[in-house]
Structure 1
Amino acid sequence: MPSAEFDAAAAKAKTFTKSPTNDELLELYALFKQATVGENTTPRPGMFDIKGKAKWDAWSEKKDITKEDAEAKYIALVDKLSATYA
């Protein structure tokens, strides 16, 4: 179960007034999924789903990170990005 600090960071990320870069968004997505779901066990999307493959690849790269570490990294990334995008 995610911590209150993680939930607060997730809510804060939704309030950014400017959109982070695609790489930053993928990192946020991957850390969020790893923290909330764990390792990616879904099949990789087909070759025409470019966005889906990028998200799948980003999440799969986090496979060796524990849920707790992913949560901490997500919180730190949101804090870092909020200085630029909040």
Structure 2
Amino acid sequence: MTDITTQFAQAQEDVKQLTERPGNLTLLRLYALFKQATEGDVHGDKPGFTDIVGKYKYDAWGALKGTTQDAAKQQYAELVESLKNGTAA
């Protein structure tokens, strides 16, 4: 495994151990980065207006279109690290 893949895997474990639940916008960012890192650019049909949460998730993931999977892994790991240190915005 590459170094970034190892960091990403560790970040996935670390995020489960956070003492405080991140805010909704941070959770949405984590979701989008995870999806971009594991699946690449957004695909599938955009959820309809009755699925508000699904629509926000789809839009957040779509905003990362063109971001490489390694870059998304790096950003995810950095965000988790800042959450662990209490320095996330």
TM-score by length of 2: 0.88
Question: 2:19, 2:47 → 1: CA distance?
Answer: 30
| Structure 2 unmatched runs, 5+ | none
Question: 1:70, 1:42 → 2: CA distance?
Answer: 19
Shift of 1:46: 1.0
Shift of 1:14: 1.2
The one-letter code of the counterpart of 2:33 is: L
Identify the residue that residue 74 of structure 1 maps to in structure 2.
76
Identify the residue that residue 52 of structure 1 maps to in structure 2.
54
Question: 2:7, 2:71 → 1: CA distance?
Answer: 13
Identify the residue that residue 41 of structure 1 maps to in structure 2.
43
User: Which of 14, 22, 34 lines up with 1:32 in the alignment?
Assistant: 34
| Structure 1 unmatched runs, 5+ | none
> Over aligned residue pairs, what C-alpha RMSD do you find?
1.6
User: Which of 3, 6, 22 lines up with 1:4 in the alignment?
Assistant: 6
TM-score by length of 1: 0.91
Identify the residue that residue 13 of structure 1 maps to in structure 2.
15
Q: Could you tell me the percent identity over the aligned residues?
A: 43
Shift of 1:82: 1.1
Identify the residue that residue 25 of structure 2 maps to in structure 1.
23
